[in-house]
Structure 1
Amino acid sequence: MSLKVSKAIEILKNHDLLVSDSVSDENLEVTKISYNSREDQTNGIFFCKGNQFKAEYLDQAIKNGAKIYVSEKEY
């Protein structure tokens, strides 16, 4: 599966799930979707989820290759 970031943004906006975005390259294509920061995130969208979520998890996901993240708050 491959999804352009612009399409992901469109989907989130259409469902009133996007408050803001700061994507530098909307033509970027992502090939993975995950919420487990320990997994390979190469070219992936990472979802920050859960009441116990910590910023360190996002840092780890980025180190593992995540290109964008979706979150209830900005990190």
Structure 2
Amino acid sequence: MAVDGAANSSKGDGDAATWLPPERGIRCEYVARQISVKASYGLWVTAAESDAMRRVLTSCPGQPAYESPLAGAETG
């Protein structure tokens, strides 16, 4: 997701437990995409990050899951 320089700088390497987009209307999509990427690449999620993701997603039950970034990638 594209963000302006100031928002990107404020995020740094923060996860969902420490940083969410300031615009509440895109938080559901942001968290859903983050989960998709982490699941696809087998990345870890801290307990605090998992709790924050759950809190966000409970406010948007209609948020679709995103396809894995690895879908359709050739194996070799």
Using the size of structure 2 for normalisation, the TM-score is 0.27
Looking at secondary structure, tell me which structure has more helix per residue.
Answer: 2
Query: Whose radius of gyration is greater, 1 or 2?
Result: 2
Looking at secondary structure, tell me which structure has more strand per residue.
Answer: 1
Using the size of structure 1 for normalisation, the TM-score is 0.27
Greater relative CO (CA pairs within 8 A, separation 6+)? 2
